[in-house]
Chain A
């Protein structure tokens, strides 16, 4: 068995409980056999105790009010930031919409969400795939717009490229007529809003799997469509005669 050199560091580590078991056992044995070794270990224990006492005495539990206030303020600022981050809404969509100022749009940010501004096709958070491009183009298709002027809410109609279902009609604060609708193509569907002003202008679109069927609800649990409608001040849906009248007026 090799000789263990009992350096100060090893004896100190033993006194501090920092040694691994096999070496600690060897030191304990040496301590039992050699008073000189024991003495050195005891001294390390003593210096630790003395230091501990001196440091305990140096601890003042009372923190100066100025320091306490400063740190508390830092913490409050930090916690406020954390709270805001938890409810984060993205900034204003930078769009060239024909009416200005799209308000805050809570976006669930699943990969297939796109926001279309006034037919220019500004994408936010979208994966621009070929299919999606096609889908977005169909939202602007004259055939789609023709049906948007006619079809009552709750009705569906077949188009050459897919199926259109109109969901509701709304008036904005400025009196403009908007319609929420779903356009389903072979493998993709979009839920969109188009508003009437010199023709139908698509102002909002959500693109998701056709399999998502009864309304696209992103994993975050938010409903972007509902949030958008609320953000633009859509109000309660127009129904029956009021809707028919609005559509007739809009067609002129």
Chain B
């Protein structure tokens, strides 16, 4: 009989991959991170209460797994070719109203943000998590979430205003 956590995990994989990419900026590494995070989640399955937010719980595990990876490899971050990320935008045929050009520009602006601002932006505005949930995932005070988020969004508006 399938478990709640098993079903939740499979359903969340696309979003996990997306956030993992924000963290490590390399698709192959992102998928490795996701796999490792899933293993950790299942090992600690008794810490998640079915009915509560699985995505916030899982993002936290993923990010902690990433931090551990950083410590282990003593890397400061992966150098990332920006064109790889813009490819992920894919075909906007069924996409939103914004034109492909504008979307690329927004994506570029987001990529240009400092890492900690990009993570906050991804969690709150990308994944629709609350300030509190983001603070718990990132292990920082809510005030820090808010100031980073405000800075990120001011910058985004500046960068895209000249369109």
Give me the interface of A with B, judged by CB distance under 8 Å: 8-9, 12-13, 16, 18, 43-44, 46-48, 50-64, 66-68, 70-72, 74-75, 77-79, 82-83
Contacts and interface: CB of A to CB of B under 8 A. Distances in A.
Given A58-B89, A63-B14, A64-B31, A53 B98 contact: yes
A48 B3 contact: no
A204 B87 CA distance: 70
A55 B122 contact: yes
Contacts of B98: 50, 53
Contact of A51 (B18, B42, B45, B121): B121
Nearest to B124: A16
A38 to B, nearest CB: 15
Interface string B119-163: 001101111101100000000000100110110111011001000
Which label, helix, strand, loop or mixed, suits the secondary structure of the B interface? helix
For the complex of A and B, 4 pairs with smallest distance between CB atoms: A55-B126, A47-B153, A51-B125, A75-B6
B95 interface: yes
Contacts of A60: 14, 17-18, 88, 90
Given A54-B107, A59-B14, A12 B88 contact: no
A74 B38 contact: yes
Interface string B31-61: 1001100110010010000000000000000
Contact of A52 (B5, B9, B125, B154): B125
B150 A50 contact: no
B90 A57 contact: yes
Contacts of B114: none
Interface residues of B, number: 52
B29 interface: no
A58 B17 CA distance: 10
Contacts of B35: 67, 70-71, 74
A109 B35 CA distance: 38
Nearest to B121: A51
20 contacts: A9-B143, A43-B157, A47-B125, A50-B160, A51-B106, A51-B110, A51-B156, A52-B126, A53-B106, A54-B107, A54-B126, A55-B18, A55-B127, A56-B96, A64-B31, A66-B31, A68-B10, A75-B6, A75-B10, A78-B6
B132 to A, nearest CB: 9
Given A57-B92, A61-B14, A78-B6, A9 B147 contact: yes
Contact of B45 (A8, A18, A59, A78): A78
B69 interface: no
Which label, helix, strand, loop or mixed, suits the secondary structure of the A interface? helix
Interface of B: 1-3, 5-6, 9-10, 13-15, 17-18, 21, 31, 34-35, 38-39, 42, 45, 85, 88-90, 92, 95-96, 98, 103, 106-107, 110, 121-122, 124-128, 130-131, 143, 146-147, 149-150, 152-154, 156-157, 160
A58 B18 contact: yes
Contact of B130 (A18, A50, A59, A79): A18
Given A55-B125, A78-B6, A13 B131 contact: yes
Given A12-B153, A71-B13, A82 B106 contact: no
B151 to A, nearest CB: 8
A44 B103 contact: no
A74 B40 CA distance: 10
Nearest to B127: A55
A9 B131 CA distance: 11
Nearest to A61: B14
A75 B7 CA distance: 9
